[in-house]
Amino acid sequence: MNPDEITKARGEVIESFINLETLINAIISQHYFKKVRQDFFFELLYNQSFNFGLRISILEKIVPEIDKNKVEKLRKLNAIRNYFAHCGPEVLPNKTTDVDKEKGRVPHPSDYQKTIDFDALYREFIETEPEISAYLGEIFVKLRGTLLEKLPPRN
């Protein structure tokens, strides 16, 4: 991926992941209150300290029959989201003498010698996200939540 493609994919991955987190938040609220409460969402679930790991831990407790394979896929989607959200910019090799001819790369955070393959990560995210989104939607509906087909118009 070139830098412009990474920027576009970054937005898509982050936006899609926000939707997954919103579904998890809706499941948590539906479980505890039998409805989605805005005050609970904004005061607790959207708090910056209420991280993804905590959401998953709660989800596993309140949905004891949860598919562990799907939880692992959800964790992988979060890892991919983190690469897109936190890794960059491209760097050039130290031995560069002609910057215009050198190709930059984004080093992997756990091993600087490796390069992050944004193409592969993006493909994996796009292939996996619909399955996990549908699964979370099913959990929400089983808890008697109502999914909207489309959002109401904005004022």
Record the pTM. Answer: 0.86
Q: Is 19 within 8 Å of 133 (Cβ atoms)? A: yes
Q: Is 27 exposed, middle or buried (0-12, 13-18, 19+ CB in 10 A)?
A: buried
At position 48, the amino acid (one-letter code) is Q
Looking up tokens 């991955």 gives 13
DSSP annotation of 152: P
Q: Amino acid letter at 2?
A: N
In the chain, where the domains are located: 3-89+105-142
Q: What is the pLDDT of residue 151?
A: 63
Please give the average pLDDT of every successive group of 10 residues along the chain, which has 155 residues.
87 96 96 95 92 96 97 98 85 56 72 86 97 96 86 68
- For residues 49 and 47, what is the distance between their CA atoms, to the nearest angstrom? 5
Please report the pLDDT score of residue 78 as a whole number.
98
